[in-house]
């Protein structure tokens, strides 16, 4: 408790009260300043923590974005590799199939049995000699002649040809000669 002097005059008493109030206000002001500085320090510490948390969060976010981007790049590379493999495989498959198709067409018979009999009958009409042996399978290595609508003679003799050959888009046929 504060002791008040008892032997003061009124004027001295007023001055004393004023000093006392000023001292108390200074004490309160000092306490408030301390309180404010404590709050400011707390705010600064909190702001530093927030800044640290934000930078940590930003760093983590950048790591996640980098990881995500690298994963996307990896998946894109895998996708590109797989697509290339499939395209290559498809091209390879088509190439093999075309080679097989060409090989089959190369050794494909020139004529079926009906065409062979027609050819034999035509050759019999114009050839008194031995009838050549013509089979359904004619390999490209055999000697032959190409008959078109314009070339209607075989060995100098006119030939009549059946309607299928003349109306086809190829406009001709390959006749195989006997190698005997």
What is the domain partition of the chain in residue ranges?
113-176
What's the pLDDT score for residue 127? 53
Q: What's 87's DSSP letter?
A: H
Question: Residue 105 corresponds to which tokens in the numbers above?
Answer: 């067409």
pLDDT band at 152 (very low <50, low <70, confident <90, very high): very low
Q: Is 174 exposed, middle or buried (0-12, 13-18, 19+ CB in 10 A)?
A: middle
Nearest one of 64, 180, 171, 100 to 132, comparing CA atoms: 180
The answer, as to whether pTM is greater than 0.75, is no
pLDDT band at 99 (very low <50, low <70, confident <90, very high): confident
What share of the chain in percent tops pLDDT 90? 23
Cα 137 to Cα 68: distance, rounded to the nearest angstrom:
65
Tens of pLDDT along 38-74?
998 999 999 999 999 999 999 999 999 999 999 999 9
Mean pLDDT for the chain overall? 71
Q: What's 160's DSSP letter?
A: -
Q: What's 176's DSSP letter?
A: E
pLDDT surpasses 80 at 128: no
Instruction: Dump strand ranges (E) for the chain.
Output: 144-148, 153-154, 157-158, 172-176
């Amino acid at each position: 408790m504060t002791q008040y002097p008892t032997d003061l005059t009124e004027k001295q008493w007023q001055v004393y009260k004023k000093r006392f109030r000023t001292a108390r206000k200074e004490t309160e002001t000092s306490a408030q300043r301390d309180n404010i500085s404590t709050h400011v320090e707390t705010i600064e510490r909190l702001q530093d923590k927030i800044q640290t948390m934000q930078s940590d969060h930003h760093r983590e976010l950048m790591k996640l974005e980098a990881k995500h981007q690298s994963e996307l790049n990896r998946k894109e590379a895998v996708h590109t590799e797989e697509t290339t493999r499939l395209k290559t495989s498809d091209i390879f498959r088509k190439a093999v199939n075309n080679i097989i198709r060409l090989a089959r067409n190369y050794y494909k018979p020139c004529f079926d049995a009906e065409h062979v009999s027609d050819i034999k009958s035509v050759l019999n009409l114009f050839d008194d000699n031995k009838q050549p042996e013509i089979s359904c399978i004619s390999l490209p290595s055999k000697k032959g002649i190409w008959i078109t609508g314009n070339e209607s003679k075989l060995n100098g003799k006119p030939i009549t040809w059946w309607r299928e050959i003349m109306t086809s888009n190829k406009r001709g046929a390959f006749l195989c000669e006997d190698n005997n």
